[in-house]
Copies of this chain bind each other. A is one copy, B any other.
């Protein structure tokens, strides 16, 4: 990760400051990536928490007012709210300002935010592929993005300097940066993130609805594998509702593949086809090894969860 002492921006405005926004605030302060961080939030409990955390320079409980002096504005609310926020802040944006975001889907963001922005500002959509199952400003930490990928999906013909500055911003926050087409991003994330979340939410729902197995039994014997799924099924409900509503096509395509493959496995079980099961179970091990080797996962057994902290 690039380490420089010169701030890249004078003022960065974060709109909505939950897990991701507050982690950005902390990472920006850690490496002095900007001279000043302004948080624009809706009035309420999380604004109060945010003030008490003292991780941004100013908290403004009025979103349009918060972007007035910003050189970089980052939308950090659930993606379903972006269009409305873009419309509200558009008249306040400084000429030459860069607008970015942290949304888990990208084509829908391009479609909803792009048309709202005035000429003379630069839109560079971004998605830091990082997070935890916790939500809210208190859940953030400066190291969240260290070694994780951040994907930028600028449109063709985007201002090269603006893209370079957003890239540098994320590198200073600890990320590695990749640039790709918005539609391709949505397909990649459908399989690496959205469908995994959906099936995790689904199995937790299935388990809790059974009448033959009690919830108490599900909880007691969850160490058999089930508990792993409860982590991502504990993610923010609003954020994830919006992801599925805005990345419908890619999610349905990947879900179709998943279900087709699962049906083949179901058939192998029904017919006692041990060879098919063994072959799949053998090759999946290699993928984890590669993820560990790529620095995207801990090599510690069981995520290191049984170690005393």
- Residues of A bordering B, CB below 8 Å: 104, 129-134, 139, 143-144, 148-149, 151, 178, 187-189, 191-210, 212-213, 215, 217-235, 237-238, 240-242, 244-245, 248, 251-252, 254-255, 257-259, 261-263, 265-266, 268-270, 272, 274, 277-278, 280-285, 287-291, 294, 296-298, 300-307, 309
Contacts and interface: CB of A to CB of B under 8 A. Distances in A.
Contacts of A278: 237-238, 241
Given A151-B221, A278-B237, A303-B304, A226 B196 contact: yes
B219 A294 contact: yes
Contacts of A202: 258, 261-262, 265, 280
A255 B208 CA distance: 14
Nearest to A282: B237
5 nearest A-B residue pairs (beta carbon):
A193-B224, A237-B281, A303-B303, A196-B225, A230-B288
Nearest to A189: B224
A281 B201 contact: yes
B280 A251 contact: no
- What is the oligomeric copy number? 2
Contact of A195 (B129, B203, B296): B203
A68 to B, nearest CB: 33
A201 B291 contact: no
B285 A234 contact: yes
Contacts of A204: 284, 287-288
A189 B196 CA distance: 21
Contact of A266 (B178, B235, B252, B289): B252
Given A259-B259, A269-B252, A232 B240 contact: no
Contact of A129 (B198, B208, B223): B223
Given A204-B287, A257-B206, A225 B192 contact: yes
B277 A244 contact: yes
B227 A291 contact: yes
Contacts of A265: 198, 201-202
Contacts of A251: 269
A152 to B, nearest CB: 13
A220 B288 contact: no
Contacts of A288: 133, 204, 227, 230-231, 233-234
A291 B219 contact: yes
Nearest to A285: B234
B187 A212 contact: yes
Contacts of A218: 188, 191-192, 287
Contacts of A280: 201-202, 205
Given A178-B220, A209-B261, 6 more contacts: A139-B301, A192-B218, A203-B258, A227-B291, A244-B269, A252-B266
